[in-house]
Structure 1
């Protein structure tokens, strides 16, 4: 019986150790005994969220595009009428009459003549685009355009319209006129000298038309009634 004391002590210590082991197993803080995730814990193998930038990046402000330079008002198209003085001479499309134009800058004078009994002087403005509208007595009118060193259009005399083309003329070709008084009679003559040298003209004596005598383009002299007249180039 004397040896039972140490035996009881050993058994008591063993029981105490088993009790402590059992207590640790049931109240431990580990989560593996439940087979689930603790609140707020990340699942094994789950991807971590991508870190957010501490401060947003901002693109470098671009410089303002230079403001468009105000453009000048649209410039006009180059003028089709030559500066200074120019001469044009030709015939109607039906060859019934001759026509000549004298142009200085934006002014024009035209002369229509059939060489016998019909003539007309017309005048007006020439636009920058070469177009022109000339008018004369008794409803005479001319509408044409200057381009490529020629005037092309339509002339209407005595209500009879005719197409015409007048090419650029060089001296002595062109348009001439003489106005004077001889022995109390009023003289008015017009001459068209064509590029090929031919002349078409009418001379009126007190309003009565007749074929004009031939003009000397070099001197401007015209024989008339035993004397001479002087015809000069027409200038608008």
Structure 2
């Protein structure tokens, strides 16, 4: 009997130790099994750089950064340097029409390209105009009636500008041109069956002029489309 007590105590201790070992092992296994999914979900499915480039707005091809082509008309008008004759230029869509007249009998209509700020215009009889234009003025040289003048014409707004009118008056063909300057003065020449004469003033309200007793409709001159 004296040896059975210590033996039972040892056996009881072994059983308790075995039970604790088993419980500890199960706890470690469950902890490992539970932590594994958390480790997987922490990884991103794809890096930000993997977003398709098509998700970003595609840049427009070519000239998206370039200003649009100007379609608005610009008109310049003034007197030639050192003279009373006048010149006016209407620019639109890379083309220009110009008119020179002295208010007596010398006149010339000229047309041509006006791209990139350059003017290179021609007309009959022997009229030419070369120069440049910008946001505030046009400058250059005009030739008409065998003479040449320098000009420096400012940008103008309506009703200033260049006008043209044609009609049949008492059987005669009338072709007239006018330049209206910023100060309101008008300079023009009317050709009646080919004979030039000073043009009467335009009625800017009705856009008409009376030439040799006949009414002539008048419109602003613009480059041909």
Q: TM-score, normalised by structure 1?
A: 0.64
The counterpart of 1:127, out of the listed 111, 115, 138, is 115
1:116–1:148 distance in 2 versus 1, CA, 3 Å: same
- Are 2:95 and 1:115 equivalent residues in the alignment? no
Q: Distance in 1 between matches of 2:135 and 2:107?
A: 27
Q: Distance in 1 between matches of 2:67 and 2:85?
A: 33
- Using the alignment, how far apart are the partners of 1:73 and 1:232 within structure 2? 39
Matched, 1:104 2:100: no
Given that residues 172 and 218 in structure 1 are in contact (C-alpha distance below 8 angstroms), is that contact kept between their aligned partners in structure 2? Answer: no
Q: Which residue of 2 aligns with 1:199?
A: 186
| 2:169–2:215 contact (8 Å) kept in structure 1 | no
> Deviation string for 1:74-98 (max 9, x for gaps)?
999879x953212111010022310
Partners of 1:229 and 1:74 in 2: how far apart?
A: 46
Q: 2:135–2:155: 8 Å Cα contact kept in structure 1?
A: no
1:180 is aligned to 2:167: yes
Based on CA coordinates, which of the two structures has the bigger radius of gyration? 1
Alpha-carbon spacing, 1:153–1:82, altered in 2? closer, same or farther (3 Å): farther
Superposition RMSD on alpha carbons, in Å? 2.3
- Which structure's residues are more often helix, by fraction? 2
Partner deviation per Cα, 1:92-144 (whole Å, 9 max, x = no partner): 0022310011111101000000000100000000122x011000113221111
* Distance in 2 separating the partners of 1:162 and 1:225: 31
Question: What residue number does 1:216 align with?
Answer: 203
* Cross-structure match for 1:95: 83
Cα 1:206/1:149, change in 2 over 3 Å: same
Residue ranges of structure 2 left out of the alignment (5+ in a row): 1-60
TM-score, length of structure 2 as denominator length = 0.67
* Aligned-partner Cα distance in 1 for 2:64–2:212: 56
**Aligned residue in 2 for 1:48:** none
